[in-house]
Amino acid sequence: MGGGGQKEEAGEPGSGKAAGVYTWEEVQKHRSRRDQWLVVNRKVYNISQWARRHPGGSHVISHYAGEDATEAFTAFHPDQTFVQKFLKPLQIGELAETEPSQDGNKDAAIIQDFKTLRSELEKEGLFRAKPLFYCLHLGHILLLEALAWIMVSYWGTSWTLTLLCAAMLATSQAQAGWLQHDFGHLSVFNKSKWNHLVHKFVIGHLKGAAASWWNHLHFNHHAKPNVLSKDPDVNMSGIFVLGSVQPVEYGIKKIKHLPYNHQHQYFFLLGPPLLIPIIFNLQVLHVMISRRNWVDLIWYLSFYARFFSCYLPLYGFFGSVALIMFVRFLESHWFVWVTQMNHLPMNIDHEKRRDWLTMQLQATCNIDQSFFNDWFSGHLNFQIEHHLFPTMPRHNYHLAAQRVRALCDKHGIPYQKKSLWRGMTDIVR
């Protein structure tokens, strides 16, 4: 059925078991790299071979090997009927009737209440996008790009106008980043294929990055936020140590690649300035070339063809390179502070296999709502609602927030909300 994995124990002669009926203990034995089972809606699937063909990447589905993946499956797939076509051939059985629907540390009452909340929000239309919102958002990105070029084309390339041009381009790049995020999460169109197509256009042609690179990194982050060894956003390659667990482990193992007692200082030199101009650019190129993703490469090159055709006549080759690097430098600061203020100060630990609501709330916090905060952060000031409902259009987060908070209060789960300033200073703290 799914291929790979160990020989199925159920139904063997003398076993006394019904074929295809499993306990959690049996399912949990299959969570190695080459032998992976998971459970969705009490059905047991062998994903050992198919994981490599998973559209969201092999890692994101493998993170749930040996456990119940129902909540993650629901969160990531807006068209579950379509996805079932891929799952059906992988099914090898079901959980025994005596087994609970959830495994380990997952709370059945929380899971049921969260399922009910999601159903209510769906019925109220909060998962339906407003086309005008996204058209206006795209329009203001294109307008900023056009005004930046018109300004230096007609009024000259003085230092003042060049700095203003760079600021406008950095703003358009940051806002395009939030827009590609919407399409990448399949939250705009009803059909996934249209989301994927426009995502490639926005992240490739408007931003100069790769959809495949973003998908595989970002969905890993959403599947297991702030989980060491699973969330790439907390994999700092030994440059920073995060949370309260990792520093202790580094101390016990006497790992000291850098003076970590000063990381809050060298963060300003290595974090915001370098992430997008250097680290992300190298990652994007590596992913496209190593995986031979030529479609993403064409979209990527189309961005630079457009940029240099506009600015080469004005600044020359080296001047144009300096301009785009400075734009990336400015955008990188914007991106780092916005994306990290919701996660970096929160709990960072090894895998605990919690239910969806508990796991996401331990790793995520919100920032106060205002028109500026919504625009500045691409509505990721509602990071809690975004992580709980990744396919929900962002203009609806605020409509779900109070009910999410009420559910958290009911079950004693902390729901943190901060000012924008406090969120940023907590990164340094």
Which ranges of 5-129 does DSSP label H, i.e. alpha helix? 24-27, 58-62, 70-76, 80-87, 108-123
54 or 395, which is more confident: 395
- The whole-chain average pLDDT of the chain stands at 92
The pLDDT assigned to 360 comes to: 97
pLDDT band of 105, cuts 50, 70, 90: confident
According to DSSP, the β-strands at 91-95 and 366-367 are unpaired
- What region, left, alpha or beta, does residue 9 occupy, with left being phi > 0 and alpha being psi -120 to 50 degrees? alpha
319-361 pLDDT, tens digit each: 999 999 999 999 999 999 999 999 999 999 999 999 999 999 9
247-261 pLDDT, tens digit each: 998 989 888 888 998
Angle among Cα 240, 241, 244 to the nearest 5 degrees reads 155
Extract the tokens encoding 93.
């059985």
The pLDDT assigned to 336 comes to: 95
pLDDT band of 380, cuts 50, 70, 90: very high
According to DSSP, the β-strands at 417-418 and 366-367 are parallel
Q: What is the mean pLDDT of residues 89-105?
A: 92
Query: How far, in Å, CA of 282 to CA of 228, rounded?
Result: 23
- What region, left, alpha or beta, does residue 15 occupy, with left being phi > 0 and alpha being psi -120 to 50 degrees? alpha
The number of CA neighbours under 13 Å toward the Cβ of 194 is 5
Q: pTM for the complete prediction?
A: 0.91
The answer to which of 3-7, 215-219, 253-257 has the lowest mean pLDDT is 3-7
The answer to which of 81-85, 91-95, 179-183, 306-310 has the lowest mean pLDDT is 81-85
Domains of the chain with CATH codes: 21-104 (3.10.120.10), 107-428 (no CATH)
